[in-house]
Amino acid sequence: MTEPDTASNRPPTLQAVQPLLLEIQNLSKRFGGLQAVKDLSFILGEGEIVALIGPNGAGKTTAFALISGFLTPDTGRVRFRGRDLAGLKPHQINALGVARTFQIMRPFPRLTVVRNVMIATLGRHPAPAEAERRARAVLAELGLADKADAPAGSLTLAERKRLELARALGTEPALLLLDEVMSGLNEAETERIVELVRAINRRGVAILLIEHVMRAVMSLAQRIVVLNYGERIAEGSPETVAADPKVIEAYLGDEEAAGAPA
């Protein structure tokens, strides 16, 4: 049963971010005996960068799947620009302006890089010539222009990460859900992704990211929501979250907390 829409059920920071883009209200999801997400509430404003962090198994990717329509919540609701997303399929949510990347990247390896991105751009631009022009523009933005006509299967890990990002951007989202786009990358590759995320955000795209690279999270996020066993245990600025004893105990540890900006 979905919770009624009352002020008491809304996230406590509702008035802090305006205009509101995404509202997660009392979201829960259970898989058999496992409570993956429990009574989760938070918000995200237009053009904001918010990080969703926590230990492995904390429910972060499940939350992404609930937001993007790949899973149906047991209770609670997701609103995007004031619209309840209940019952909408992933492609319908994407058409409204929500795009996501996946931890496990599955490009079409035999198709060229540009054609992989065209699969996304065709949704907004049905004319093939315009879809290709848009796809090449996205690839140029992400530093993959010289790989546009190469098979996607020939890309390095770092390049495949950027291709995954390009395919999401090709749908022209207002909100981009990034699921560990920096995992497995070295320091230089990570910094490049950080700069790309900043550039994407500067042109007005709001970002909700899951990431275990804490120095990147602390430098990018304006707010951080921390999950543990499916529940929100903390929310606030990077400095506030990094100093929270519950977060340090559950996830960060003293070394990671020390990486927060001063």
Domain boundaries defined on the chain: 7-99+206-257
pLDDT tens, the chain, 262 aa long: 444 444 334 444 444 446 999 999 999 999 999 999 999 999 999 999 999 999 999 999 999 999 999 999 999 999 999 999 999 999 999 999 999 999 888 999 999 999 999 999 999 999 999 999 999 999 999 999 999 999 999 999 999 999 999 999 999 999 999 999 998 999 999 999 999 999 999 999 999 999 988 889 999 999 999 999 999 999 999 999 989 998 988 886 544 444 444 3
Q: Which CATH superfamily is domain 7-99+206-257 in?
A: P-loop containing nucleotide triphosphate hydrolases (3.40.50.300)
Please name the residues in contact with 95: beta carbons below 8 A apart, sequence gap of 6 or more: 123
Here the tokens at position 21 are 């883009």
**Does a cis peptide bond (omega within 30 degrees of 0) precede residue 19?**
yes
> Can you give the pLDDT at residue 169?
96
> Can you give the pLDDT at residue 229?
92
